[in-house]
Structure 1
Amino acid sequence: MESLNPTQRRIHQAAFRLFAERGTSQVNILDLAQEAGVARGTVYSNIDNMESLFEAVASHLAKEMHERVNKSFNSLSDPAPRLANGIRLFIRRAHEDSQWGAFIHKFAMSNASLREMFSSQATTDLLSGLSSGRYTFEKGQLLSVMTLISSSVLGSIFLVLEGHKTWRESGSDTAELVLRALGVPPEEARALAITELPALPSLD
């Protein structure tokens, strides 16, 4: 949202909260104006339509999370700990910011920007792990592996949001099971899944 003026930023932040809570079809201009604390005319003059507003919100969220997770990998070259950390960073953030978690859980599979958030860096790391022998799956299975990872993360976010598991339990279990599915030995997969997780870096 770097290019937005203060009023637009306020509207986008209000839209994010409403979309996370209600979904896209249950939000109208009046709701948005009330949530943002502005007049309806101000909303009309600052957005084209609800569809483009949603896409802008989702695109910003995806770009921001992708850049922060990628920045946290600066000192890691091994694809296995990168994957273990990436999985847990998503799940921990859903715990720390339940609105963010709800937005991701609702829309990650249906929105192209959010799908790209999951797949862009992970695809590179998976192919790197495959070529180095770190992972054992067929190259033709890459799309299925990506679906396995993203659906596992979203399922874990659901468990955390619903209070069935803590983020540490859900994150570690998911990271361990995904790594084992990719061919990482069980003991190593567990060790990587419970390693201290770094803070999610801010974007300067």
Structure 2
Amino acid sequence: MKPLSPSQRRIHQAALRLFAEKGVSQVNISDLAQEAGVARGTIYNNVENMEQLFKQVASQLSKEMHERISKSFADLQDPAERLASGIRLFIRRTHEEPQWGAFLSRFAMSDASLREMLSSQATSDLLSGLQAGRYSFRQEQLIAVISLVASATLGAIFLVIEGLKTWREAGSDTAELVLRSLGIEEEEARRVATTDLPALAPLG
């Protein structure tokens, strides 16, 4: 993944905040320059148009989160623990970075790279868990199960954004219910969903 320059990173961070708040079509060059704290010329030098910028921001966000999740799971072997931790890491990051969560909540189902971010790690853990007999669902149900995991995670993110649940409550409840839907017994699902959560690995 090609690293962003300092100016590009400021523009991307500003765009994420503005897109989450206003939507893509309502953001203009002046808004972006002001939010990023850069000159309009810097925006023109780095941004082709808002639609293209949105795609770049979504793609970069997806790649970064996928990289950080993968590193965070280096010591986790159990597919159920990995799946539960992945769900909870997304929800905890929403608490720590509300505008990141708001961006994801608004666009995750309509953008391919964001959908990939939500589903890629989960797919691996679901397949390995199924093959190991950890989960109970039919192979042909995989796409529906991936959708269930992604939808449940986004629902929990919404609860945190709206202040209806703490990230710990939303994360543990969602992870437990997802595991139970996959055939994990209630007591074990609760244990896995409330175990100590690994830190989200930094970039680089």
**TM-score interval, smaller chain:** over 0.9
Q: Who is 2:30 aligned against?
A: 30
- CA-CA distance at 1:108 after TM superposition: 0.8
Which residue identity lines up with residue 175 of structure 2 in the other structure? A
Question: For 1:30-54, what per-residue CA distance to the aligned partner results, in whole angstroms no more than 9, with x for missing partners?
Answer: 1111112233233122111111111
Q: Give the 5 Å matches for 1:36-185.
A: 36-185=36-185
Whole-Å Cα distance in 1 between the matches of residues 102 and 69 of structure 2? 19
Q: Who is 1:15 aligned against?
A: 15
The alignment of Structure 1 onto Structure 2 pairs a total of residues equal to 204
Q: State the TM-score, normalized to the length of structure 1.
A: 0.96
Whole-Å Cα distance in 1 between the matches of residues 6 and 96 of structure 2? 25
Unaligned runs of 5+ in 2: none
Compare 24-33 and 176-185 and name the one that shifted more.
Answer: 24-33
- CA-CA distance at 1:4 after TM superposition: 2.9
Unaligned runs of 5+ in 1: none
Which residue identity lines up with residue 18 of structure 1 in the other structure? L
Compare 15-24 and 156-165 and name the one that shifted more.
Answer: 15-24
Which residue identity lines up with residue 118 of structure 1 in the other structure? L
- CA-CA distance at 1:163 after TM superposition: 0.6
State the identity %: 70
Does the 8 A contact of 2:156 with 2:174 survive in 1?
yes
Give 4+ residue runs of structure 1 displaced > 6 Å after superposition.
none
Question: For 1:152-182, what per-residue CA distance to the aligned partner results, in whole angstroms no more than 9, with x for missing partners?
Answer: 0000010111011111111110000000000
- CA-CA distance at 1:2 after TM superposition: 4.7
Which residue identity lines up with residue 25 of structure 2 in the other structure? S
Does the 8 A contact of 2:69 with 2:86 survive in 1?
yes
Question: For 1:35-74, what per-residue CA distance to the aligned partner results, in whole angstroms no more than 9, with x for missing partners?
Answer: 1223323312211111111111111111111111111111
Q: Who is 1:193 aligned against?
A: 193
Task: Report the secondary structure of 1:128's partner residue.
Answer: helix
Whole-Å Cα distance in 2 between the matches of residues 74 and 5 of structure 1? 28
Q: What's the C-alpha RMSD, in Å, of the aligned pairs? A: 1.3
- CA-CA distance at 1:100 after TM superposition: 0.7
Seen in structure 2, the aligned counterparts of structure 1 residues 144 and 121 have a Cα distance that, compared at 3 Å, is same
Task: Report the secondary structure of 1:203's partner residue.
Answer: coil
Which residue identity lines up with residue 153 of structure 1 in the other structure? T
Whole-Å Cα distance in 2 between the matches of residues 188 and 43 of structure 1? 51
Compare 187-196 and 117-126 and name the one that shifted more.
Answer: 117-126
